[in-house]
Amino acid sequence: MSGPTLDANTAISAEERQRERDAIFQRCERFLGTHGRPRLRATLEALAREAGEDEADDIYGSGALIEGFEHEIAGLLGKEAAVFMPSGTMAQQIALRIWSERMRCATVAFHPTCHLEIHEEKGYEFLHGLRSRLVGAPHALLTLDNLRGVREPIAALLLELPQREIGGQLPEWDDLVAQTAWAHERGAAAHMDGARLWEAAPYYDKAYAEVAALFDSVYVSFYKGIGGISGAALAGPTDFIAEARIWLRRHGGNLRSLYPYVLAARAGLRERLARFPAYHERAVRIARVLTSIPGIAVTPDPPQTNMMHVYLRGDIEQISDAVVAIARDERVLLFRGLRSTALPGYCMFEISIGDAAEELSDDEIHDYFTRVMAAGSDS
């Protein structure tokens, strides 16, 4: 009897401890990652400022507000049409379902760490009857040689730009061209998981439409680097998007109104789209600062976007406690989501650099992480 009781008590204690840490993090005023934490009232006030004096809400996907924004996104991506959706999960499953039916093939190919595979409870399989063909190694970029090993017919090849689960890595441009060409040569569609396309394009030094031109359909997100509330868009040929709107209704995603999400996305694009090259440059500088400290490594090195995975050598609990202490005493949040790794003695976190990092100097970042690493190495 004592075993289960101790386990339950331990679980409760861990939950309480995490709630305490979250409360401390909520009081922070400066942040290394993303755009900081805007307060709810400030977010709503910004939405009110974004709304035009005579703008009306959208009704079940119709209206000048949402239709105008969809047209803007389609133009930005060089596609014939686009549809606004509540989530990327919905957008990508719909895209693959359509390609599957058009190709009369239930198999779709993607990397083992694709969002559909590890974060969506196999929705593509249970909702749409699709089969996955996982291609490549989990901890490396998918390659053309990996694709050449695919012998069975596929309806679509999904490529994520950049690949979040391996630190935001990107294939080189020639590799990307070859991979999408491989799909087209086999009669399959090429679909882009562009959740972070806004962050990826500066690496290629190409317009968003030029990157998107390699793909038959593209999904983009509005709440990650853009900083919107939620929402996504799916872009592609006119007939494809018309069909996607039907599937949007079938998914229950054709909500009565989506205008708060549309307004936040529109404002985020206008305010931040031109800043991504600067975010990337800042991420590279921060990576240099971090890797100058013994026991810290980043992937990729240097970062290819404003995103990276940071590996810390030391005790995970001691490092966590040091980060919490800095957050509590100095109201500075360095990172969250610290987790163990397969590499003995190392833990890691993911970070994306945005507006908030400008509030911290390189010297401050170096000092904070030097203190964190010292705490993590204490025996």
Question: Which two structure tokens, joined as six digits, stand for 183?
Answer: 């799909």
Average the pLDDT over 304-311 and give the result.
97
Instruction: Report residue 312's pLDDT band, with 50, 70 and 90 as the boundaries.
Output: very high
Average the pLDDT over 333-342 and give the result.
94
- For the chain, count helices (H), then strands (E): 15, 13
Give the span between the Cα atoms of 126 and 124, in whole angstroms. Answer: 6
Is 90 exceeded by the pLDDT of residue 2? no
Which pLDDT score is estimated for 15?
84
- CATH 3.40.640.10 domain extents, the chain: 63-255
Instruction: Report residue 376's pLDDT band, with 50, 70 and 90 as the boundaries.
Output: confident
> What are the beta bridge partners of residue 235?
82, 218
* 80 residue type, one letter: E
Nearest to 128 by CA among 114, 149, 110, 107: 107
> What are the beta bridge partners of residue 331?
none
Is 60 exceeded by the pLDDT of residue 1? no
Is 60 exceeded by the pLDDT of residue 299? yes
Using one digit for the tens of pLDDT, what is the confidence trace for 271-280?
999 999 999 9
Fold for domain 63-255? Aspartate Aminotransferase; domain 2 (3.40.640)
Give the Å distances, CA to CA, from 165 to 141, 149, 176, 243. 10, 23, 18, 31
- In Å, how far from its chain's centre is CA 258? 21
Average the pLDDT over 198-210 and give the result.
94
Give the Å distances, CA to CA, from 314 to 116, 190, 296, 345, 374. 33, 42, 10, 6, 9
Give the span between the Cα atoms of 87 and 2, in whole angstroms. Answer: 45
pTM of the entire predicted model: 0.93
Average the pLDDT over 210-220 and give the result.
98
CATH number of the structural domain 2-32+275-376: 3.90.1150.10
What is the percent of the chain with per-residue pLDDT over 70, rounded to a whole number?
96
Q: How many C-beta neighbours within 10 Å does residue 41 have? A: 8
Using one digit for the tens of pLDDT, what is the confidence trace for 74-120?
999 999 999 999 999 999 999 999 999 999 999 999 999 999 999 99
